[in-house]
């Protein structure tokens, strides 16, 4: 079975601001001395892992990124609800035994500290301060941890054990982290636990930042809003500026199939489900940034999938010189990708198998079937 799977994807976005910088502008990158629009890999991966195609196909095998485990443990112990119930609804209450605030805090901080360093302790002086924002934030960890369903189940069981004893768990009971936990998003995109580096997971999928294949300009949209109840002034009730851009984006992914299977406890079937769900999401799911303002939902127009044991390589060089205006930018870009692929294969003597879909040929299903053969 081939070690590497590579995807080269072209997607057209109309006016949009899918991924903003610290000033609210669409992110950009300079390549070939030319400004391009950019969508970060972090934004893309977030959109894919919470999307319907991904979550439905992999229900029960998706992790949770959070720094609030300690907070939920505390809520569970003081509300009489189970940890799972509180995870689903932070305001949940139940009929189980409850603990006083002080022991609940100690237990929550001890369990939370397994996943990352806890924030500085905050000791309320009055009962009402136990519901204050400052107190609840003190039950969070400094960094987010990506936690698998199996690890969350372990937390839930430990919460019930501590509920019965009213005491902090023993050291042996805090072995909550798992190397072989089957969280597909952790297996694909990795995790870093500074507090417990031996449980870090190397990402099986490497995702490039998407960029336009041509020169792109960030434009300004001056807009106004009218006050419906204002019948006296002719002017606007609000004025503002929103920035946006548009273009044809190239995206590259490389997936180490062997590492993915290893990360999933050598479960080849689950790994294949993960690959299909990932490719479906990559080709059909857009980041959610400013969607209400721009409705910039787009599906891939072209996807070239390669598989083989050869050293992976991006084909972004096809767009080192920005593509010029043409009657058919999409097909010109498709041809550029295929020409660059053939050139690299000739130079390095490689010939990975490939399949593709476009508006003229191929389907998403055929590409998914190909990468999971």
- 128-141 pLDDT, tens digit per residue, is 778 888 999 999 99
Three-class SS string for 259-270? HHHHHCCCCHHH
Distance, in Å, from the CA atom of 239 to the CA atom of 253, rounded to the nearest integer, reads 41
Average pLDDT, the chain: 93
Give pLDDT, residue 1.
Answer: 65
In this prediction the pTM is 0.91
Predicted confidence at residue 160, as pLDDT, reads 96
- Residue pair 111/66 in contact (Cβ under 8 Å)? The answer is no
> What pLDDT, on a 0 to 100 scale, did the predictor assign at position 329?
94
Q: Report the greatest alpha carbon distance in the chain.
A: 75
Question: CB-based contacts of 97: which residues, under 8 Å, 6+ apart?
Answer: 80, 163, 164
Secondary structure element (H or E) that encloses residue 54, with its range: helix 52-57
Rounded to the nearest 5°, which phi and psi values hold at 290?
55, 30
- Which pLDDT score, from 0 to 100, does residue 30 have? 96
- Give the residue ranges of the chain where pLDDT is below 50: none
Alpha-carbon distance of 218 to 35, in angstroms, equals: 9
Give the integer Cα–Cα distance in Å for 73 and 159. 7
Residue 83, number of CB atoms within 10 A of its CB: 23
**Which secondary-structure segment (H or E) carries 334?**
helix 329-348
């Amino acid at each position: 079975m081939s070690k590497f799977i590579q995807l080269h994807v072209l997607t057209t976005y109309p006016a949009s601001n899918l991924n903003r910088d610290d000033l609210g502008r669409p992110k950009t990158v300079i390549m070939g001395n030319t400004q391009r629009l950019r969508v970060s890999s972090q934004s893309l991966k977030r959109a894919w892992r919470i999307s319907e195609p991904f979550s439905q196909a992999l229900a029960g095998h998706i992790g949770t990124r959070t720094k609030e485990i300690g907070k939920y443990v505390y809520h569970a112990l003081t509300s009489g609800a189970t940890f799972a119930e509180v995870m689903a609804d932070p305001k949940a209450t139940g009929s189980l035994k409850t603990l006083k605030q002080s022991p609940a805090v100690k237990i929550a901080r001890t369990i939370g500290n397994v996943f990352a360093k806890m924030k500085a302790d905050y000791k309320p002086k009055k009962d009402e301060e136990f519901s204050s924002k400052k107190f609840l934030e003190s039950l969070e960890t400094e960094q987010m941890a990506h936690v698998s369903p199996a690890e969350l189940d372990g937390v839930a069981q430990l919460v019930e054990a501590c509920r019965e004893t009213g005491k902090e768990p023993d050291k042996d009971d805090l072995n909550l982290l798992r190397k072989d936990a089957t969280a597909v998003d952790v297996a694909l995109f990795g995790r870093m636990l500074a507090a417990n580096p031996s449980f870090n997971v190397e990402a099986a999928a490497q995702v490039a930042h998407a960029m336009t294949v041509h020169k792109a300009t960030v434009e300004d949209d001056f807009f106004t809003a009218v006050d419906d109840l204002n019948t006296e002034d002719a002017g606007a009730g609000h004025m503002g500026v929103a920035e946006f851009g548009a273009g044809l984006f190239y995206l590259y992914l490389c997936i180490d199939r062997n590492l993915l299977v290893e990360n999933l406890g050598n479960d080849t079937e689950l790994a294949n489900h993960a690959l299909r769900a990932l490719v479906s999401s990559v080709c059909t799911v857009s980041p959610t940034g400013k969607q209400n303002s721009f409705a910039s939902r787009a599906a891939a127009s072209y996807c070239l999938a390669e598989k083989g044991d050869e050293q992976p390589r991006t084909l972004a060089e096809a767009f080192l010189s920005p593509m010029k205006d043409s009657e058919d930018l999409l097909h010109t870009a498709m041809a550029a990708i295929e020409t660059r692929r053939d050139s690299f294969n000739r130079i390095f003597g490689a010939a990975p198998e490939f399949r593709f879909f476009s508006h003229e040929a191929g389907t998403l299903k055929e590409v998914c079937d190909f990468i999971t053969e």
